[in-house]
Amino acid sequence: MKLYPVVTWPALFSVMICLLAGIMVSDNANAQATPTFAAKVSPDLVERAEREHRGGDRVDVIIQFNGASSRRIDALLLNSGAKLLRQLRNFEARVVSLPVKAVEALAAQREVRYISPDRPVGASGHVSNTTGTESVRQQTTVSILGIITTTTTLDGSGIGIAILDSGVDAGHVSLRNSSGLSRVAVSQDFTGENRTDDVYGHGTHVASLAAGNGQISSGAYTGIASNAQIINLRVLNSHGIGSASGLLAALDWVMTFRTLYNIKVVNLSLGGTAVDTFQNDPVCQAVRRLVDAGVVVVAAAGNNGKDSFGNKIYGQIHSPGSEPSAITVGASNTFGTDVRGDDVVTTYSSRGPTRSYWTDASGVKHHDNLIKPDLVAPANRLVGAAAYNNYLMATYPEIDADVSSFSNRRMMYLSGTSMATPVAAGAAVLMLQANPTLTPNLIKAILMYTAQPLPGFNMFEQGAGQLNVAAAIQLAKLVRTDRTILTAQGDPLLTSGLPSPQTNIAGQTFTWAQGLILKRTYAVGSALLTQYQNVYGTGVILGDGVVENGTEQSINTAMMSGNILLGSNIIMSDGAPLGSGQFFLSTSMLLGDGTMMSDGIMVGDGIMVGDGIMVGDGIMVGDTVLQAQSALRSGDATSCMK
C-alpha cells in the first residue's frame, strides 16, 4: 500500500473507503493452490494491473523477497524496468517504481514473495490520574531487614520511545527534562520534506501524551512516561499524509538504531486501509520483526467506527493495527472525570474483526477475522502539547485549550485513537522501567489481563477492556526477573501470589478482565499470570497458544498450559471479568462461513451501510467530525492520523 497517509486518529480523519467485508469465509485447508499472480500480488494492485495491462503507466510498489541474493534481485528489477526508491536494510523488501504491465512478470519470479502498492498512510490527547498512573508513580522499596528504604519515580527515565508521526516540536516546554533541556534525543525525516519539526501538529500532541512532563499548569497535563527519551521519526508530511514506504523506512531505522537509543517502544498513531492479510502486508511484517527483536509496537485501531449516519460499523481496523503482534488500541471517553464508572468506548473508535484478506484460486476471499482492538484507552478531548504555529490549531482555533499564550507552552484538544495509542505506549514504557526483563508479549498480556471491561461494549469494540496502568505496574513488578530460555512452561511466573484482581481509582473499585484476547477467541484463567507460558517468549505471538481447526479452537498445549480456558462466544460485557455478559457472536463465526449481524448493521462483502466513508481529513472534537480538506483520490483509500 502506499505509505498510507498515516492517519491520526484523533482529530483528523482521512478519507478512506471502508470496504467492510462481512461474509466470514473459512480458511479451507483444502483450497486449491492460488495462481502465482493472484497469490503474490495485492488485490488492489491486481485490479490495476489488469486494467492497465497494455498501458505505459508506472506504479510505486513494495516488493518482498524470499531471501534472494542482492545481485539476483538487482537483475530482476533491472529487467522489469524498475527504479529503486528505497532499500530497506533490515527487511527483505525494496520500494521501487516500475511499469504497471511489469507487475505480473515480476510476480512470477520465485524470488518474489509478495508485491503491494505503496499505499497512503495517515494519522489516526487528566490521563495520568484516570489511568491510575499517578497512584503508582512513586515506588517505595524496603530492604529485607527493614532498614533501608528507597523511593523510585516511574517516569520512563532512560527508556526511548519512538514517535512515528508528523514530527515533534523539540522546543515545547512539555518535552523538556528537569534541567530545561529537550528530551528529543534524535530526529529524522522520512517524508522527503527535509524537516523534522511539526508543521501539522499531530506528532507533538501524541508525544506529549506518551511522555509530556508536568511543567505546565502545575502538572495538570502530565503524560504517562514523563521523562522518557523521545525519538522523533517524521513519516507524515506538512499535510498529515505519509506513505507505506516512508513508514517502512522509519521502522527499518528503528531496527538499526534501537540499541543505540535504547528504543523499547514504538508508537504508531497512524495507519492505512488494511487490504492484504497481515501475513503479506509489508508494514505488518516489519512490525512483527521489531516485536520479535524485543521492541513493543503500539498501534492505533482507527477512527472508522461509525458511518455518515452515525450507525456502528464493524471490521474497520487499520493496518498495522491489524498485525497480531502489535498492541492495537481503541478509544474510550472518560468525560473528563478521573472516576471510571461513567467511561465508555467512543462511537468513532474502529471495531473489529480485522478484514484484511487473501484470495484463493476460486476467487474466494479469506479474511483474517482477528478480534481487535486489544484494549482501549482514554482518547476523547485530551489536552496535549501544541506545536509552534501548527496547521491544526490554525485551521481549527476552537481546539486551543487556552492554557498559555506563550508559543512553547500552548496546549490543544484532540480526540481519536491516535490519542489513545500514546497513553498505552507510555504505560508500556513504565512497565519496562519497573521490570526491564518484560518481553513485548508479556507486556501485552499484562495490559489485557488487568484491563477494565466496560459494561455494554463487546470485544470487537473494547478488546479486553480499558487500560489500567496502576494494576499493570503492580503485576510487572511481580514478574520474575530470573527467567531464561530454560524456564519451563508451567514454572511460577510471579515472585509472589497473584494479587486481588481489583483496582481502586478515584475512590471507585473495579475488577480486572483476567483474560487475554487471542486470535479469534479469548482465554481466561489465573494460570495466565501465575505460570510461565511459552507464548511469553520472543519469536512467537500470544495467538500461538490457540490451535484452530475448521470451526473449533483449542489450547495449543506446547505453548500454553492446559488449565487455561477458551471462550466460545464474543461477549457483550457486563463490566465483570472477561467472558461475563451477554452473547454477541459465536467465535466459530470468525472461523466458518456466515454473515455477521449486530446493532442493526449487516457487514457485507463490499460496501457497508452508509458506505462507511469518512469524508475529509476531519478533526474530531468530542464525537463530532469537522470536515476539512478532502483527501479522496481516485482509486486510493487514503488514510490519515488516527
Kindly list the domain boundaries of the chain, sorted by start residue.
36-122, 123-590
Q: Which residue pairs, CB below 8 angstroms and at least 24 apart, start in 405-409?
A: 408/169, 408/171, 408/172, 408/173, 409/172, 409/173, 409/174, 409/216
What's the pLDDT at 600? 33
With 0-12 / 13-18 / 19 or more C-beta atoms within 10 angstroms meaning exposed / middle / buried, residue 325 is buried
Check whether 608 has a pLDDT greater than 60: no
DSSP label of 413: E
CATH architecture of 123-590: 3-Layer(aba) Sandwich (3.40)
Superfamily for the 36-122 domain: Peptidase S8 propeptide/proteinase inhibitor I9 (3.30.70.80)
Cell of 463: 478488546
Check whether 32 has a pLDDT greater than 50: no
Mean pLDDT of the chain: 84
- Name the residue among 417, 421, 457 with its Cα closest to residue 571: 457
d(CA 38, CA 246): 26
Higher local confidence (pLDDT), 393 or 70 = 393
Q: Which residue pairs, CB below 8 angstroms and at least 24 apart, start in 360-364?
A: 360/28, 360/31, 360/32, 360/34, 361/31, 361/32, 361/33, 361/34, 361/35, 361/38, 362/31, 362/32, 364/25, 364/31
What's the pLDDT at 547? 96
What's the pLDDT at 146? 62
Cell of 256: 538499526
Q: What's the predicted TM-score (pTM) here?
A: 0.85
pLDDT band at 362 (very low <50, low <70, confident <90, very high): confident
For the residues 125-154, what does the mean pLDDT come to?
71
What's the pLDDT at 126? 53
For the residues 377-399, what does the mean pLDDT come to?
94
For the residues 308-325, what does the mean pLDDT come to?
93
Candidate from 25-29, 278-282, 476-480, 632-636 with smallest mean pLDDT: 632-636
What residues does 573 pair with on adjacent strands? 581
Q: Is-cis flag, bond preceding 35, omega within 30?
A: no
